Amino acid sequence: MKRRDVIKSLAILPVSAAIPQSVNAAMSPPVPKRKSVYEAIGVKPLINARGTVTVIGASKVLPEVRTAMDAAIDEFVQIDELMDGVGKRLGELMGTESGCVTAGASAAITAATAGCVTGGDPDKIWMIPNLKGMKDEVVITSYSRSAYDAGCKAVGVRMIQVSDINELQAALGPRTAMVYLLSGAESEDGPLSLRAIASLTKPLGIPILVDAAAEGPENPNPHIVQGADLVAYSGGKYLRGPQCAGLLIGRHDLIMAARMNTGPHHGFGRGFKVGREEVIGMLTAAEMWFKRDHASEKKLWNTRLERMARHLQTIPGLNILIKQPQGRSNPSPDMIVSWDPARISYSGQEVEDLLWNGTPRIAVGAAGSYFQPNQKNSILVNSSQLSDGEANIVAAYIAAILSKPVGTAKENAPASADLSGQWDVETKFYASTVYQTFMFEQSGNTLQGTYTGSLGPRDLTGSLSGGEIIIRSTIGLDGARVHSFFTGKISGDTMEGELSVGEYGKATWKAKRHIFKMK
């Protein structure tokens, strides 16, 4: 039986069949569940052993938040007056001048940027994204570049990247709307720390926004204390508020300017509106943050991981590490399950797929690689979003998979062709056709070279087994990150197949060997 067939057959087993009886005996009795609203529309629910990741629902809303949201729905209110009252209360909770509820942390970044650009001037608000005559630059440190600075770029600003204090000094000027920082070790203690940056921006009156999405707020706020003017938080992560809500806290004047660039106000930010029930739910989550027993929560998360580790530690070839969080972001521990590939021949991606395609569906992480195929011999398990009894199910299913490894995959078949040279690629996305190129250098079964797409060229690696091709390529440019995974088949001077672009879905592609015409 081929390895892929073994994986396929394992993936469709119900959990009761996949878990050994000895493990089943140690599991808690199943908890009766109401019929899933997702299954009613043909969507499969999952057990979240991956953490507060947005694409799988982030976190579970607190019971107190649900109650508050239900109460808010029953009455009407003028939204600006609601925001005024909530802003005052958030300021009291956070120890800042003010705050507001946004449509998530990314929306908070966009609103803050728009507020700093326009200052709340309605004429300028209606001009966005045409920033002629406005402060149209945002300075960003090199360590802050990520997918999330797209929240700034949405306003139309130009991002000015700096790597040291001299570049920062040169970048600050009359066109600087603000400085954007991603919270972390380097913003705390690096040469371009928040304190160091604030020492230059304060005399110039240039505000600083700190993206602290995966943190929980503190009072006094550590970022404000170090010189930040605005701080953005996600509401749907560890705060356990509504997933489509977030917080922006800080200077009152900048909060008001940011608010003018969100709903219900017309113009650029109309789409960032937040309903009254989400506003009250987010405020309740903030109130609860300062009442929750965080030490007990962390103890529970660790206890779950330790219990799972005991289930798994008897499997030959496994190494289990419980990794404690560092810094303020993502404050829950992770369990990294790695294995000796000589004894367990699965890749990390294959184990992820087995768990994802099983019954129940289980989502785990890739030990550091959420956005491309996991080529490591490891997976990552996070217990912070598990319900009672789910830790046993997750451990049992992982044990069932890793205790029965399949045989080593057969070696690659000889390559059926030499693909060296340029290939013209036609890729069909959901609503567009894009023309790209491959440039290959081939040695036996191994491919390397360049893939050129709309963002420009990037390195590629790949393999050719018989007539079956695999190509992998990643680009990280100015905060963008796109992972491309091509699979397909060769037929003479043409090839075609499927393209997986991670969070952006799938596409189909065809390629022809480029014919150079003599002039």
Question: Read out DSSP for 372-436?
Answer: S---SSEEEEE-TTPPTTHHHHHHHHHHHHHTSPPPPPPPPPPPSS---EEEEEEEE-SS-EEEE
At residue 519 the predicted structure's pLDDT band, cuts being 50, 70 and 90, is: low
- How far is the C-alpha of 142 from the C-alpha of 179, rounded, in Å? 12
CATH number listed for the domain at residues 295-403: 3.90.1150.180
Domain range list for the chain = 63-291, 295-403, 421-513
pLDDT at position 375 is: 66
Q: Name, in order, each residue with C-beta under 8 angstroms of 400's C-beta and a sequence gap of 6 or more.
A: 18, 19, 20, 23
More confident residue, 483 or 32: 483
Give CA–CA dist 328/499, Å, rounded. 37
State the Cα–Cα distance between residues 266 and 268, nearest whole angstrom: 7
What one-character DSSP code corresponds to residue 306?
H
Q: What is the pLDDT of residue 89?
A: 98
Residue-wise pLDDT tens digits, 412-445? 799 999 999 999 999 999 999 999 999 999 999 9
Q: How far apart are CA 362 and CA 391, in angstroms?
A: 11
Higher pLDDT, residue 493 or 10:
493
Q: 63-291 maps to which CATH number?
A: 3.40.640.10
Confidence check: pLDDT of 503 > 70: yes
Q: Does the pLDDT at position 408 exceed 70?
A: no
Lowest mean pLDDT among 83-97, 178-192, 370-384, 445-459: 370-384
What pLDDT, on a 0 to 100 scale, did the predictor assign at position 176?
98
Q: What would the pLDDT profile of 78-107 be if each residue is shown by its tens digit?
A: 999 999 999 999 999 999 999 999 999 999
Determine which helix (DSSP H) or strand (DSSP E) holds 359, and give its type and residue range. Answer: none
Q: Take residue 39 and report the two structure tokens written for it.
A: 């299954």
For residue 411, name the pLDDT band (cuts at 50, 70, 90): low
pLDDT band at 366 (very low <50, low <70, confident <90, very high): confident
Topology alike, domains 63-291 and 421-513? no
pTM: 0.89
Indicate the pLDDT class of residue 221, thresholds 50, 70 and 90. very high
113 has pLDDT over 90 = yes
The SS3 call for residue 109 is helix
Maximum Cα–Cα distance across the chain: 77
pLDDT for the residue numbered 349: 87
Query: In angstroms, what CA-CA distances link 498 with 46, 436, 508, 510?
Result: 26, 15, 5, 9
Which band of pLDDT confidence, cut at 50, 70 and 90, is reported for residue 406? low
Q: Which has more pLDDT, 234 or 516?
A: 234
pLDDT surpasses 90 at 267: yes
Residue 12: pLDDT band (50, 70, 90) is: very low
Asked if the model's pLDDT at residue 262 lies above 90, the reply is: yes
d(CA 498, CA 134): 45
Going from the C-alpha of 450 to that of each of 63, 160, 340, 368, 410, the distances in angstroms are 51, 28, 32, 25, 28
- Averaged pLDDT for residues 442-457: 95
Output the CA–CA distances (angstroms, integers) from residue 499 to 128, 181, 393, 448, in the order listed: 35, 34, 33, 17
Residue 392 has pLDDT above 50, yes or no: yes
- Encode 470-479: b = buried (16+ Cβ within 10 Å), e = exposed: bbbbbbeeeb
Pick the CATH number of 421-513 from 2.70.70.10, 2.40.340.10, 3.40.190.10, 2.40.128.120: 2.40.128.120
* Amino acid at site 280: I
Q: What is the mean pLDDT of the chain?
A: 91
Residue 185: alpha-carbon gap to chain centroid: 19
Stretch 177-189: mean pLDDT, rounded? 96
Q: pLDDT digit string (tens) for 240-250?
A: 999 999 999 99
Report the range of poorest mean pLDDT among 231-240, 274-283, 340-349: 340-349
Q: Which one is predicted more confidently, 101 or 29?
A: 101
Q: How confident is residue 2, by pLDDT bands cut at 50, 70 and 90?
A: very low
User: pLDDT per residue over 185-218, tens digit each?
Assistant: 999 999 999 999 999 999 999 999 999 999 999 9
Q: Chain-centre distance of CA 480, in angstroms?
A: 13
